[in-house]
Structure 1
Amino acid sequence: MKWAYSYLVEIQFLGFRFHGWQKQTNSMSLHEMMDKMLGFVLGKGIFKSLGMGRTDAKVSANRYYFQLFLNETINEELFLKAFNKNASQDLKAVKISIVSTDFNIIQSAKIKEYHYYFSFGTKNHPYSAPFLVGVLDDLDIEATFSAIRRQSTFGWDSSGLRAACLRCCFENVIFEPGG
């Protein structure tokens, strides 16, 4: 189907309860949940959404984009309000802008940056579970960097990884009741 209008929508999401972006059988995906919600906001069957790429299970995003195809223009401000009112608490639309229907979201993404957060030595506070991988044993940071460099030789581009991301390790989480 040829769509008359195309919008680029920036979203943020906490992916802890999702099995990635792409729709899947027998698993909840962010794309599936979002399309159901968009059906309430826009009406069933009058739109198509396409994400900028797949994500792994439980991946969160501070800046993720999807392309929204429609046959009618929308009021962008009202759309954002309706989206955020109907979206679950772990999903937020940040902005929307009209783009050419020839725009290809999958081919247009130039840089993808990933952040990995680790802690080691002690068990993390349960609230940190969606954000932080806890390793109870000692974590060898240099061995981790070495493994990343080895992966790069097999076609995985690690140039987007920032050393600070992996060095952002915590020896323990301090929780003081009442403080």
Structure 2
Amino acid sequence: MAEYQRYFIELAYDGTKYHGWQIQPNAVTVQELLNKALSTLLRQPIETTGCGRTDTGVHATEYFVHFDHSSMDHRPWTMDKKGLNALLPHDIAIKRIIPVEPEAHARFDATLRSYEYHIHFQKDPFRHGYSWLLRDTPDLELMNRAAAIIMEYSDFSCFSKSNTQVKTNNCKIVNAAWEPTEKGIVFKISADRFLRNMVRAIVGTLIMVGRGEIPPEAVRDIIESKNRSNAGTSVPACGLYLTEVKYLYL
């Protein structure tokens, strides 16, 4: 019998004030505050493992972590969502606390991740910090043609930050498309995994297509070059949201 109980936490956060998910020296992160709140609530040091990294300013409407809790009397922790939320700031919200098997892993067991990137075209104080304001409307049809081309590939070195120390730059994208919204457009993309900065670099490249700076077919040359400098610039973090993380057992 395991000497600890493993739990998954489903949470959401507004990333505006944070330097991403992962703990960093001399910077406030979501993971740091969650670890402190759990340690206070459970009266023992707690370290969480997240389902992936999010960069500074990126939001998450669905995010999962796991952590282990040991009890002297070997009884599982009574799941106290209200108590944990009370110890966290208003921009981090706990949705669920789920007991799982000891081998369950928030990062390695995720089978699918989905992101959205939001863009609006009229100045709006209520969208500032949560969507990217563009002056001109890009061509949605051209961008979707380019997005379809991206789905034909698996090596996305051209959209990744350098020196990320990952074993492979291969990802399996299962969906990538732009959709109109009430006040703008949104890019939705799902894959088994994502590289650092990948979605923001893809959006920046597709915006080049939508503005007529490059044709949709030019995306092939960019991807096949495996060179980050050939792709578009990374768009601002404010419009990016992690929206879904899937597991076989949840």
TM class by shorter chain equals 0.7 to 0.9
Distance change (3 Å), C-alpha of 1:94 and 1:102 = same
TM-score in terms of structure 1 length: 0.79
Distance 2:81 2:31 in 1: 17
Distance 2:117 2:87 in 1: 30
Distance change (3 Å), C-alpha of 1:102 and 1:116 = same
SS at match of 1:96: strand
1:14-58 Cα offsets, whole Å, 9 max, x none, are 11111211111232211112112222222242x221111111222
Which amino acid counterpart does residue 103 of structure 1 have in structure 2? A
Distance 2:147 2:16 in 1: 24
Task: Name the counterpart of 1:107.
Answer: 108
> Residue 5 of structure 1: CA displacement?
1.2
Which amino acid counterpart does residue 174 of structure 2 have in structure 1? S
2:148/2:176 contact within 8 Å kept? no
SS at match of 1:74: coil
Confirm whether residue 5 of structure 1 aligns to residue 5 of structure 2: yes
Task: Name the counterpart of 2:58.
Answer: 59
Structure 2: segments with no counterpart, 5+ residues:
157-170, 185-250
Distance 2:14 2:149 in 1: 30
For 1:71-110, what aligned pairs fall within 5 Å after superposition?
71-72=70-71, 73-76=76-79, 79-110=80-111
1:11/1:63 contact within 8 Å kept? yes
Q: CA RMSD in A?
A: 2.3
1:114/1:160 contact within 8 Å kept? no
SS at match of 2:130: coil
Distance change (3 Å), C-alpha of 1:141 and 1:157 = farther
Distance change (3 Å), C-alpha of 1:139 and 1:163 = closer
TM-score in terms of structure 2 length: 0.58
1:62-101 Cα offsets, whole Å, 9 max, x none, are 211110211122101xx21111111110111111111111
Percent sequence identity over aligned pairs: 22
Which amino acid counterpart does residue 168 of structure 1 have in structure 2? T
SS at match of 1:48: coil
Confirm whether residue 159 of structure 1 aligns to residue 174 of structure 2: yes
Distance 1:128 1:23 in 2: 27
